[in-house]
Structure 1
Amino acid sequence: MSFCDTVVAIASSIHSFGSVSSNYGSLVAAIIVAGMLFIIRELSIRSKNYSGVFYTMSTVESSSYNPYKGMQLFHTLVLYSDGYVICGTSEKTGDIDSKRGCEYEGAQKIRGEVTGRVERNYLWSTVMNLHIVEQGEKRESTSFMTVKVSRFNFRKAQNAGGFYSTAANTKGRVLCGRELFSEHPTGCSPFQSTAGSQLL
Protein backbone atom coordinates (compact mmCIF):
# COMPACT_ATOMS: atom_id res chain seq x y z
CA MET A 1 0.00 0.00 0.00
CA SER A 2 1.39 3.38 -1.03
CA PHE A 3 1.66 6.40 1.23
CA CYS A 4 -1.32 8.08 -0.50
CA ASP A 5 -3.46 4.95 -0.04
CA THR A 6 -2.53 4.91 3.66
CA VAL A 7 -3.54 8.57 4.10
CA VAL A 8 -6.85 7.94 2.30
CA ALA A 9 -7.53 4.90 4.51
CA ILE A 10 -6.85 6.90 7.67
CA ALA A 11 -9.05 9.77 6.46
CA SER A 12 -11.84 7.34 5.65
CA SER A 13 -11.58 5.79 9.12
CA ILE A 14 -11.79 9.21 10.76
CA HIS A 15 -14.78 10.12 8.59
CA SER A 16 -16.54 6.86 9.46
CA PHE A 17 -15.95 7.54 13.16
CA GLY A 18 -17.16 11.12 12.87
CA SER A 19 -20.29 10.17 10.93
CA VAL A 20 -21.63 8.13 13.84
CA SER A 21 -23.91 10.26 16.06
CA SER A 22 -22.05 13.34 17.32
CA ASN A 23 -18.53 11.96 17.17
CA TYR A 24 -17.31 14.89 15.06
CA GLY A 25 -18.40 17.25 17.81
CA SER A 26 -16.63 15.13 20.43
CA LEU A 27 -13.49 15.03 18.31
CA VAL A 28 -13.46 18.81 17.83
CA ALA A 29 -14.12 19.36 21.55
CA ALA A 30 -11.23 17.06 22.45
CA ILE A 31 -8.88 18.93 20.10
CA ILE A 32 -9.95 22.29 21.55
CA VAL A 33 -9.44 21.10 25.15
CA ALA A 34 -6.02 19.65 24.30
CA GLY A 35 -5.03 22.95 22.67
CA MET A 36 -6.20 24.97 25.67
CA LEU A 37 -4.27 22.75 28.10
CA PHE A 38 -1.13 23.11 25.98
CA ILE A 39 -1.46 26.92 25.89
CA ILE A 40 -2.12 27.14 29.64
CA ARG A 41 0.86 24.94 30.38
CA GLU A 42 3.23 26.89 28.17
CA LEU A 43 2.07 30.27 29.51
CA SER A 44 2.00 29.38 33.20
CA ILE A 45 5.11 27.17 33.33
CA ARG A 46 7.58 28.98 31.11
CA SER A 47 11.09 27.60 30.76
CA LYS A 48 12.70 30.93 31.66
CA ASN A 49 11.27 30.55 35.17
CA TYR A 50 13.96 27.95 35.84
CA SER A 51 16.98 29.83 34.52
CA GLY A 52 18.95 32.49 36.36
CA VAL A 53 20.18 33.08 39.90
CA PHE A 54 18.47 31.36 42.82
CA TYR A 55 19.13 31.45 46.56
CA THR A 56 18.50 28.58 48.95
CA MET A 57 18.34 28.35 52.73
CA SER A 58 18.51 24.78 54.05
CA THR A 59 17.71 23.87 57.65
CA VAL A 60 19.09 20.58 59.02
CA GLU A 61 16.47 18.52 60.85
CA SER A 62 18.31 15.23 61.25
CA SER A 63 21.92 14.08 60.90
CA SER A 64 24.20 11.31 62.12
CA TYR A 65 26.55 14.08 63.33
CA ASN A 66 24.83 15.94 66.19
CA PRO A 67 26.55 19.36 65.72
CA TYR A 68 24.88 19.63 62.28
CA LYS A 69 21.36 19.48 63.73
CA GLY A 70 19.61 22.84 63.54
CA MET A 71 22.22 24.37 61.20
CA GLN A 72 21.15 26.69 58.41
CA LEU A 73 23.09 26.54 55.12
CA PHE A 74 22.99 29.17 52.39
CA HIS A 75 23.73 28.56 48.70
CA THR A 76 23.63 30.62 45.52
CA LEU A 77 22.64 28.62 42.43
CA VAL A 78 23.25 29.79 38.87
CA LEU A 79 21.05 27.62 36.66
CA TYR A 80 20.16 27.20 33.01
CA SER A 81 17.09 25.24 31.94
CA ASP A 82 15.01 24.61 28.83
CA GLY A 83 12.02 24.03 31.10
CA TYR A 84 12.84 20.36 31.61
CA VAL A 85 16.59 19.73 32.01
CA ILE A 86 18.60 21.83 34.49
CA CYS A 87 22.34 22.41 34.68
CA GLY A 88 24.50 24.95 36.46
CA THR A 89 26.72 25.64 39.44
CA SER A 90 26.31 26.28 43.16
CA GLU A 91 28.29 28.22 45.75
CA LYS A 92 27.95 27.80 49.49
CA THR A 93 27.95 31.34 50.86
CA GLY A 94 27.32 30.88 54.57
CA ASP A 95 26.08 28.77 57.47
CA ILE A 96 24.69 29.31 60.96
CA ASP A 97 25.04 26.86 63.83
CA SER A 98 23.91 27.12 67.45
CA LYS A 99 26.87 29.36 68.35
CA ARG A 100 27.55 31.69 65.44
CA GLY A 101 27.07 32.42 61.76
CA CYS A 102 29.85 32.35 59.18
CA GLU A 103 29.94 34.01 55.79
CA TYR A 104 31.97 32.51 52.93
CA GLU A 105 33.49 35.17 50.71
CA GLY A 106 35.69 35.09 47.63
CA ALA A 107 37.89 32.01 47.44
CA GLN A 108 36.30 30.61 50.62
CA LYS A 109 33.02 29.85 48.80
CA ILE A 110 32.51 26.15 48.27
CA ARG A 111 31.61 25.42 44.65
CA GLY A 112 29.52 22.59 43.27
CA GLU A 113 28.04 21.29 40.03
CA VAL A 114 24.26 21.18 39.61
CA THR A 115 22.17 18.93 37.37
CA GLY A 116 18.46 18.28 37.55
CA ARG A 117 15.06 18.08 35.96
CA VAL A 118 11.76 19.93 36.14
CA GLU A 119 8.56 17.95 36.65
CA ARG A 120 6.06 20.22 34.89
CA ASN A 121 2.56 19.37 36.13
CA TYR A 122 -0.87 20.61 35.04
CA LEU A 123 -2.99 20.17 38.16
CA TRP A 124 -0.51 20.37 41.03
CA SER A 125 2.75 22.08 41.86
CA THR A 126 5.61 21.81 39.44
CA VAL A 127 8.74 20.34 41.08
CA MET A 128 12.44 21.16 40.61
CA ASN A 129 14.70 18.19 41.36
CA LEU A 130 18.31 19.30 41.86
CA HIS A 131 21.38 17.08 42.22
CA ILE A 132 24.43 18.91 43.60
CA VAL A 133 27.97 17.53 43.85
CA GLU A 134 29.98 19.76 46.19
CA GLN A 135 33.60 19.71 47.29
CA GLY A 136 33.52 20.17 51.07
CA GLU A 137 36.36 20.95 53.45
CA LYS A 138 37.39 17.30 53.81
CA ARG A 139 35.63 15.39 51.03
CA GLU A 140 33.21 15.55 48.14
CA SER A 141 29.53 15.17 49.02
CA THR A 142 26.26 14.84 47.12
CA SER A 143 23.00 16.62 47.87
CA PHE A 144 19.52 16.21 46.43
CA MET A 145 16.92 18.98 46.67
CA THR A 146 13.24 18.76 45.77
CA VAL A 147 11.49 22.14 45.55
CA LYS A 148 7.79 22.66 44.84
CA VAL A 149 7.46 25.66 42.54
CA SER A 150 4.77 28.33 42.87
CA ARG A 151 3.82 28.84 39.20
CA PHE A 152 2.80 32.47 39.08
CA ASN A 153 5.16 34.15 41.55
CA PHE A 154 8.33 32.06 41.47
CA ARG A 155 10.46 35.17 40.98
CA LYS A 156 9.75 36.41 44.51
CA ALA A 157 8.20 33.54 46.44
CA GLN A 158 10.17 31.38 48.81
CA ASN A 159 9.31 27.95 47.47
CA ALA A 160 9.55 25.13 50.01
CA GLY A 161 10.96 21.63 49.68
CA GLY A 162 13.30 19.12 51.23
CA PHE A 163 16.92 18.05 50.89
CA TYR A 164 19.23 15.14 51.62
CA SER A 165 23.04 15.19 51.80
CA THR A 166 25.48 12.31 51.95
CA ALA A 167 27.52 14.39 54.42
CA ALA A 168 26.61 12.67 57.71
CA ASN A 169 23.29 11.48 56.19
CA THR A 170 21.85 14.95 56.67
CA LYS A 171 18.18 15.69 55.96
CA GLY A 172 16.02 18.76 56.30
CA ARG A 173 13.87 21.39 54.65
CA VAL A 174 14.87 23.99 52.08
CA LEU A 175 13.53 27.34 50.89
CA CYS A 176 14.38 28.56 47.38
CA GLY A 177 13.72 31.91 45.72
CA ARG A 178 15.08 34.73 43.57
CA GLU A 179 15.90 37.04 46.46
CA LEU A 180 18.62 36.93 49.12
CA PHE A 181 17.57 35.67 52.53
CA SER A 182 17.65 38.23 55.33
CA GLU A 183 18.88 35.46 57.67
CA HIS A 184 22.16 35.15 55.73
CA PRO A 185 25.12 35.74 58.09
CA THR A 186 27.65 38.51 57.56
CA GLY A 187 31.25 38.41 58.69
CA CYS A 188 33.16 35.69 60.58
CA SER A 189 35.62 33.59 58.61
CA PRO A 190 34.49 29.95 58.35
CA PHE A 191 38.01 28.79 59.13
CA GLN A 192 37.77 30.41 62.57
CA SER A 193 34.46 28.73 63.45
CA THR A 194 34.02 25.99 66.00
CA ALA A 195 33.51 22.30 65.23
CA GLY A 196 29.77 22.80 65.02
CA SER A 197 30.25 25.06 62.00
CA GLN A 198 32.36 22.70 59.90
CA LEU A 199 31.33 22.37 56.28
CA LEU A 200 28.67 19.85 55.30
Structure 2
Amino acid sequence: MDMINSVWNYISTNSILSGAIATLLAALAIFIFKEYIKGPPDLSGSFHIECKTLFSKYNPYINMVSIYTLNIISNGNDIEGYIEKTNDINSDLKFLSYEGKHRTRGEVSGVIKRNYLRRNQVSLHIKMTGVEREYSILIVFKKINSKKMFGEFWSTAADSTGDVRWEKNEL
Protein backbone atom coordinates (compact mmCIF):
# COMPACT_ATOMS: atom_id res chain seq x y z
CA MET A 1 0.00 0.00 0.00
CA ASP A 2 2.91 2.32 0.74
CA MET A 3 4.27 1.67 -2.74
CA ILE A 4 0.93 2.64 -4.35
CA ASN A 5 0.84 5.86 -2.28
CA SER A 6 4.42 6.74 -3.25
CA VAL A 7 3.72 6.09 -6.96
CA TRP A 8 0.54 8.20 -6.73
CA ASN A 9 2.43 11.03 -5.02
CA TYR A 10 5.14 10.91 -7.70
CA ILE A 11 2.61 11.00 -10.56
CA SER A 12 0.52 13.78 -8.99
CA THR A 13 3.56 15.99 -8.37
CA ASN A 14 5.15 15.40 -11.80
CA SER A 15 3.23 17.63 -14.24
CA ILE A 16 4.69 16.06 -17.39
CA LEU A 17 3.83 12.53 -16.35
CA SER A 18 0.36 13.46 -15.10
CA GLY A 19 -0.31 15.37 -18.36
CA ALA A 20 0.75 12.34 -20.42
CA ILE A 21 -1.52 10.04 -18.42
CA ALA A 22 -4.45 12.48 -18.74
CA THR A 23 -3.89 12.65 -22.51
CA LEU A 24 -3.86 8.86 -22.80
CA LEU A 25 -7.07 8.59 -20.77
CA ALA A 26 -8.76 11.25 -22.94
CA ALA A 27 -7.67 9.45 -26.13
CA LEU A 28 -9.02 6.16 -24.74
CA ALA A 29 -12.35 7.80 -23.86
CA ILE A 30 -12.67 9.31 -27.37
CA PHE A 31 -11.82 5.94 -28.96
CA ILE A 32 -14.44 4.11 -26.88
CA PHE A 33 -17.05 6.79 -27.67
CA LYS A 34 -16.44 6.80 -31.46
CA GLU A 35 -16.11 3.04 -31.86
CA TYR A 36 -18.62 1.62 -29.40
CA ILE A 37 -21.05 4.27 -28.19
CA LYS A 38 -21.45 6.22 -31.46
CA GLY A 39 -19.87 3.83 -33.96
CA PRO A 40 -20.04 4.10 -37.74
CA PRO A 41 -23.38 3.05 -39.23
CA ASP A 42 -23.44 0.09 -41.60
CA LEU A 43 -25.02 1.35 -44.81
CA SER A 44 -24.20 -1.69 -46.95
CA GLY A 45 -27.07 -3.04 -49.02
CA SER A 46 -29.62 -2.20 -51.66
CA PHE A 47 -31.58 1.04 -51.29
CA HIS A 48 -33.99 3.20 -53.25
CA ILE A 49 -33.55 6.93 -53.70
CA GLU A 50 -36.21 9.39 -54.82
CA CYS A 51 -35.01 12.81 -56.06
CA LYS A 52 -37.64 15.53 -56.48
CA THR A 53 -36.38 18.49 -58.52
CA LEU A 54 -37.41 21.81 -56.99
CA PHE A 55 -35.22 24.12 -59.10
CA SER A 56 -33.77 23.63 -62.56
CA LYS A 57 -32.54 25.78 -65.44
CA TYR A 58 -34.60 23.51 -67.71
CA ASN A 59 -38.26 24.07 -66.75
CA PRO A 60 -39.65 20.60 -67.67
CA TYR A 61 -37.47 19.13 -64.89
CA ILE A 62 -39.14 21.21 -62.16
CA ASN A 63 -41.33 18.94 -59.95
CA MET A 64 -39.99 15.86 -61.76
CA VAL A 65 -39.29 12.85 -59.54
CA SER A 66 -36.50 10.41 -60.43
CA ILE A 67 -36.22 7.06 -58.68
CA TYR A 68 -32.95 5.15 -58.45
CA THR A 69 -31.81 1.79 -57.11
CA LEU A 70 -28.59 2.07 -55.14
CA ASN A 71 -26.28 -0.85 -54.25
CA ILE A 72 -23.49 0.18 -51.91
CA ILE A 73 -20.89 -1.12 -49.51
CA SER A 74 -19.84 0.95 -46.53
CA ASN A 75 -16.46 0.25 -45.01
CA GLY A 76 -16.03 2.38 -41.91
CA ASN A 77 -16.50 5.94 -43.13
CA ASP A 78 -16.14 5.18 -46.87
CA ILE A 79 -19.00 4.29 -49.23
CA GLU A 80 -18.81 2.91 -52.76
CA GLY A 81 -21.16 1.20 -55.17
CA TYR A 82 -23.40 1.56 -58.19
CA ILE A 83 -26.72 3.20 -58.98
CA GLU A 84 -29.34 2.78 -61.72
CA LYS A 85 -32.21 5.07 -62.67
CA THR A 86 -35.38 2.96 -62.64
CA ASN A 87 -38.28 5.44 -62.95
CA ASP A 88 -39.22 9.03 -63.69
CA ILE A 89 -42.45 10.80 -62.84
CA ASN A 90 -42.70 13.93 -65.00
CA SER A 91 -44.18 17.19 -63.80
CA ASP A 92 -47.41 16.27 -65.66
CA LEU A 93 -47.49 13.01 -63.58
CA LYS A 94 -46.56 10.75 -66.52
CA PHE A 95 -44.83 7.64 -65.12
CA LEU A 96 -41.82 6.33 -67.06
CA SER A 97 -40.23 3.01 -66.21
CA TYR A 98 -36.75 2.02 -67.40
CA GLU A 99 -35.89 -1.64 -67.87
CA GLY A 100 -32.69 -3.44 -68.86
CA LYS A 101 -30.53 -1.58 -71.37
CA HIS A 102 -32.68 1.56 -71.07
CA ARG A 103 -31.50 2.23 -67.52
CA THR A 104 -28.78 4.79 -66.96
CA ARG A 105 -26.04 3.58 -64.65
CA GLY A 106 -23.58 5.38 -62.40
CA GLU A 107 -20.79 4.96 -59.90
CA VAL A 108 -21.24 6.02 -56.29
CA SER A 109 -18.56 7.17 -53.89
CA GLY A 110 -19.21 8.74 -50.55
CA VAL A 111 -18.19 9.39 -47.01
CA ILE A 112 -19.78 9.31 -43.58
CA LYS A 113 -18.81 12.41 -41.61
CA ARG A 114 -18.89 11.38 -37.98
CA ASN A 115 -19.41 14.15 -35.45
CA TYR A 116 -19.00 13.96 -31.68
CA LEU A 117 -21.93 16.09 -30.51
CA ARG A 118 -23.93 16.78 -33.67
CA ARG A 119 -25.64 14.29 -35.95
CA ASN A 120 -23.50 12.38 -38.40
CA GLN A 121 -23.78 13.21 -42.10
CA VAL A 122 -23.64 11.10 -45.28
CA SER A 123 -22.39 12.65 -48.53
CA LEU A 124 -22.64 10.77 -51.82
CA HIS A 125 -21.10 11.72 -55.16
CA ILE A 126 -22.68 9.95 -58.12
CA LYS A 127 -21.19 9.92 -61.64
CA MET A 128 -24.03 9.05 -64.03
CA THR A 129 -23.78 8.01 -67.67
CA GLY A 130 -26.86 9.66 -69.17
CA VAL A 131 -28.45 9.29 -72.60
CA GLU A 132 -27.09 12.61 -73.88
CA ARG A 133 -24.01 13.08 -71.69
CA GLU A 134 -22.39 12.26 -68.37
CA TYR A 135 -23.50 14.22 -65.32
CA SER A 136 -22.97 14.11 -61.58
CA ILE A 137 -25.20 14.29 -58.53
CA LEU A 138 -24.15 15.29 -55.03
CA ILE A 139 -26.45 14.10 -52.22
CA VAL A 140 -26.21 15.08 -48.54
CA PHE A 141 -28.15 13.40 -45.73
CA LYS A 142 -27.88 15.19 -42.37
CA LYS A 143 -29.41 12.43 -40.23
CA ILE A 144 -28.21 8.87 -40.75
CA ASN A 145 -30.55 5.91 -40.61
CA SER A 146 -30.14 2.69 -42.58
CA LYS A 147 -33.91 2.41 -43.18
CA LYS A 148 -35.07 5.94 -44.13
CA MET A 149 -33.29 9.30 -44.63
CA PHE A 150 -34.07 12.70 -46.09
CA GLY A 151 -31.68 15.21 -47.60
CA GLU A 152 -30.83 17.47 -50.52
CA PHE A 153 -29.28 16.93 -53.93
CA TRP A 154 -27.45 19.05 -56.48
CA SER A 155 -27.09 17.82 -60.06
CA THR A 156 -25.19 19.07 -63.09
CA ALA A 157 -28.08 17.82 -65.26
CA ALA A 158 -29.84 21.12 -66.03
CA ASP A 159 -28.19 22.59 -62.91
CA SER A 160 -30.99 21.16 -60.82
CA THR A 161 -31.44 20.94 -57.05
CA GLY A 162 -34.09 19.46 -54.81
CA ASP A 163 -35.06 17.08 -52.06
CA VAL A 164 -34.06 13.45 -51.80
CA ARG A 165 -35.51 10.50 -49.89
CA TRP A 166 -33.65 7.25 -49.14
CA GLU A 167 -35.46 4.05 -48.20
CA LYS A 168 -34.49 0.45 -47.70
CA ASN A 169 -37.85 -0.70 -49.09
CA GLU A 170 -38.86 -0.22 -52.70
CA LEU A 171 -40.50 3.14 -53.43
CA distance in 1, matches of 2:29, 2:137: 38
The change in CA–CA distance for 1:89 and 1:163 in structure 2 (over 3 A counts) is: same
CA distance in 2, matches of 1:138, 1:33: 54
Q: Which of 146, 149, 153 is matched with 1:155 structurally?
A: 146
What are the within-5 Å matches in structure 2 for residues 182-197 of structure 1? Answer: none
What are the within-5 Å matches in structure 2 for residues 35-184 of structure 1? Answer: 35-43=28-36, 45-47=38-40, 49-99=42-92, 100-150=94-144, 154-156=145-147, 158-181=148-171
Q: Which amino acid aligns with 1:107?
A: K
Using the TM superposition, name which of 69-78 and 45-54 deviates more: 45-54
Q: Which amino acid aligns with 1:68?
A: Y
The change in CA–CA distance for 1:130 and 1:44 in structure 2 (over 3 A counts) is: farther
* Superposed CA RMSD: 2.8
Question: Is the 2:70–2:82 Cα contact (8 Å) retained in structure 1?
Answer: yes
CA distance in 1, matches of 2:98, 2:38: 34
CA distance in 1, matches of 2:154, 2:10: 53
Share of identical aligned residues, percent?
34
The change in CA–CA distance for 1:124 and 1:48 in structure 2 (over 3 A counts) is: closer
- Which structure is higher in strand share? 2
CA distance in 2, matches of 1:177, 1:39: 30
Q: Which amino acid aligns with 2:60?
A: P
Q: Where does structure 2 lack aligned partners over 5 or more consecutive residues?
A: 1-7
- TM-score (norm. length: structure 2): 0.81
Q: Where does structure 1 lack aligned partners over 5 or more consecutive residues?
A: 1-14, 182-200
What is the aligned length?
A: 163
Question: Is the 1:50–1:83 Cα contact (8 Å) retained in structure 2?
Answer: no
- TM-score (norm. length: structure 1): 0.70
CA distance in 1, matches of 2:10, 2:76: 37
The change in CA–CA distance for 1:129 and 1:19 in structure 2 (over 3 A counts) is: same
Shift of 1:69: 0.3
Question: Is the 1:17–1:23 Cα contact (8 Å) retained in structure 2?
Answer: no
